[in-house]
Structure 1
Amino acid sequence: MTTRIVLVRHAQSVPPRFGVPDDDRRPLTAVGLAAAEALSERLVAYAPAAVLSSPQTRAVQTVTPAARELGLEVTTWPELREWESGLLPSADWEDLYTRSWARPESVHGTGESLDEVTVRAGKALARMGVEFPDATVLVGSHGTFVSRALIAAGQHADWESCRAMPMPAIYEVTA
């Protein structure tokens, strides 16, 4: 049995504030909300049996228009959340992420390593395979999580591809 998983990176969100922990309730911008609406038709065409999402607002908002059109609820799974890097948003975030991707086993403070995100993503994909056999599942999430889920599914992803990922973006994997 094969489960098709459609990973959706959220649309443009309000940027995080430098120097303070990121806010899970950070929403999409007006441009992001419009992009989520425009993306809906494309996502509906996959005919998903379920719509899952990270509990973070920007991910939920990105898949909600498609879920609404399909008559489905958005179900949040905590394991679909973005990388908890242990880093505060800062002007040098790209430099810090570059170093983290070069050493994916490394951990910043109380955060999780990228290797841990890959394991978490792999377990989430496997759970989808068990809970939604022979179905398509739409998944709203985040750039780093999507990249690490691609790696967990045996596809290529690296810092450059993660960094270049558009907002929103769609990728397919199977479980």
Structure 2
Amino acid sequence: MTKFYLIRHGETEWNIQNRYQGITDIPLSSVGRLQAQAIANRMKDYEVDAIYSSDLSRAFETAGQIAKEKNLEIHTLPQLREINFGEWEGYTISELEKIYGEEYKRFFLEPHKYPFPGEGSMEAVQMRIKKAVDIITSNHDNKKIVIVSHGGILKVLIMTLLELDLSFYKSFWLGNTSLSILDKKDTGKWVLSLLNDRCHLNIMK
């Protein structure tokens, strides 16, 4: 049975400021590095056969902490990068509302319905994440795999594997270094057994 451990990267300064990061390569903050170590400590308790990561530094550094604990190499995939938001990157939600008005507000409420700069559409994002899943499962079928990526792309991955409509995008959230778990059953269906769990961060409070 194939198992995916889906982990969002640690906190960045742009996360704190609520800025769109997209494919802009923003590093982990000091808190983000502590969060990365916390999820790495948690993953000691799980059997892991392979680690895949986005090639953006905030994800790769988070994956690096896990790789050290597991003594595994990191396979980087550009298909695991965050959603490309083009000219929106670097701006906050309130700034984009001022610049683009109703055009942005419509997207913010129903991102699956409207185009956006960069990648263009949620359908395009979904096609990219399907390629990533195909690469990972073809290389490590019936294995337990850590995937360290980004909030937006992991949400699309979860919806895709669970065969959920893209309209669910705004219905759930993934926090920094959250752990979600998906299992592929013998029927070929994927089942979600854990979502957005961050109990490993309790030691930081």
| TM-score relative to the length of structure 1 | 0.84
Which range is displaced more, 76-85 or 15-24? Answer: 15-24
Q: CA deviation at 1:20?
A: 10
Q: CA deviation at 1:53?
A: 0.3
Q: CA deviation at 1:23?
A: 6.4
Give the match for residue 146 of structure 2: 138
Deviations 1:127-149 (A, max 9, x none): 22211011111011000001000
Q: CA deviation at 1:103?
A: 4.2
Aligned with 2:175 (options 157, 162, 166): 166
Deviations 1:35-64 (A, max 9, x none): 111111222322211111000100111121
Q: CA deviation at 1:80?
A: 0.3
Give the match for residue 89 of structure 2: 88
Q: CA deviation at 1:74?
A: 1.4
Q: Secondary structure at the match of 2:13?
A: coil
User: Is residue 22–residue 83 contact of structure 2 (8 Å, CA) maintained in 1?
Assistant: no
Deviations 1:119-175 (A, max 9, x none): 22122123222110111110110000010001111165421413xx21111112245
* Amino acid corresponding to residue 91 of structure 1 in structure 2: T
Give the match for residue 10 of structure 1: 9
Give the root-mean-square deviation of aligned CA atoms.
Answer: 2.8
User: Is residue 23–residue 85 contact of structure 2 (8 Å, CA) maintained in 1?
Assistant: no
Counterparts of residues 105-116 of structure 1 (less than 5 Å): 105-116=113-124
Distance in structure 1 (CA, Å) of the matches to 2:85 and 2:179: 23
Q: CA deviation at 1:5?
A: 1.1
Distance in structure 2 (CA, Å) of the matches to 1:73 and 1:40: 14
Distance 1:158 1:111, change over 3 A: closer
Which range is displaced more, 81-90 or 109-118? Answer: 109-118
**Structure 1 residue 148 and structure 2 residue 156: aligned?**
yes
User: Is residue 85–residue 107 contact of structure 1 (8 Å, CA) maintained in 2?
Assistant: no
Q: Secondary structure at the match of 2:123?
A: helix
Q: Secondary structure at the match of 1:104?
A: coil
Instruction: Give the number of the structure with larger relative contact order, counting CA–CA contacts within 8 Å between residues 6 or more apart.
Output: 1
Distance 1:147 1:25, change over 3 A: same
User: Is residue 118–residue 151 contact of structure 1 (8 Å, CA) maintained in 2?
Assistant: no
* Amino acid corresponding to residue 182 of structure 2 in structure 1: V
Segments of 5+ residues of structure 2 without an aligned counterpart are 98-103, 185-205
Q: Secondary structure at the match of 1:140?
A: strand
* Amino acid corresponding to residue 109 of structure 1 in structure 2: P
Distance 1:98 1:28, change over 3 A: farther
Give the match for residue 30 of structure 1: 30
Q: Secondary structure at the match of 1:121?
A: helix
Which range is displaced more, 77-86 or 20-29? Answer: 20-29
How many percent identity over aligned positions? 21
